[in-house]
Amino acid sequence: MSGAFNNDGRGISPLIATSWERCNKLMKRETWNVPHQAQGVTFASIYRRKKAMLTLGQAALEDAWEYMASRECALLILDETACILSRNGDPQTLQQLSTLGFNDGTYCAEGIIGTCALSLAAISGQAVKTMADQHFKQALWNWAFCATPLFDSKGRLTGTIALACPVEQTTAS
């Protein structure tokens, strides 16, 4: 964040500011490394373990996508470790995210990709939106992410559902 304000002129969210402080100790803003990705047997095991959540989540996201098909965005399902389990959306947007390394199996933890709603929703237990220079890593400044955590019937975090789009596709709401 360039200064004491978000890109919309409002003060910095304490959640984002605290995340920036943690990230500043771990990584450089300018450097982007493709995030680690679970593959093969490891990803298959994670996917199987989350099958019930994925079945419900994918059905809901497919229905939501019918109303959003004209938008340049992607809908993501992540597990409680911020590992991407499923992606759906605009093919060009999915390709752009893939170029950054956001594929099935990619870990989007704060310690890997910096300040981003994909991890902050799980950390905070609440819906989070990050966009443009709210992201710690400059590679994400062209993106907006909205994410909300998912909890089981006992209140345990089971995953996150997220929306990703190029920042120019965002609206004021």
Return the CATH number at 110.
3.30.450.40
Q: Provide the number of structural domains found in the chain.
A: 1
Burial class (CB in 10 A: 0-12, 13-18, 19+), 158: middle
Report pLDDT for 4. Answer: 39
Question: What is the sign, positive or negative, of the torsion defined by CA atoms of 58, 135, 28, 32?
Answer: positive
Mean pLDDT within 144-172: 91
Q: Is the pLDDT of residue 164 over 50?
A: yes
In a domain, 3, yes or no: no
Is 4 contained in some domain?
A: no
In a domain, 116, yes or no: yes
Residue 2 lies in a domain: no
Does this model's pTM top 0.85? My answer is yes
Residue 22 is assigned to a structural domain of this protein? yes
Distance of CA 28 to the CA centre of its chain: 19
Average pLDDT, the chain: 89
Within a domain: 42: yes
For the chain, the straight-line distance linking the first and the last C-alpha, in angstroms and rounded, comes to 21
Q: In the prediction, which pLDDT does 10 show? A: 58
Q: Could you tell me what percent of the chain has a pLDDT over 90? A: 75
Q: Cβ of 61: how many Cβ atoms within 10 Å?
A: 22
Residue range of the domain that includes 68: 14-169
For range 6-19, the mean pLDDT: 76
Confidence at 5, pLDDT banded by 50, 70, 90 = very low
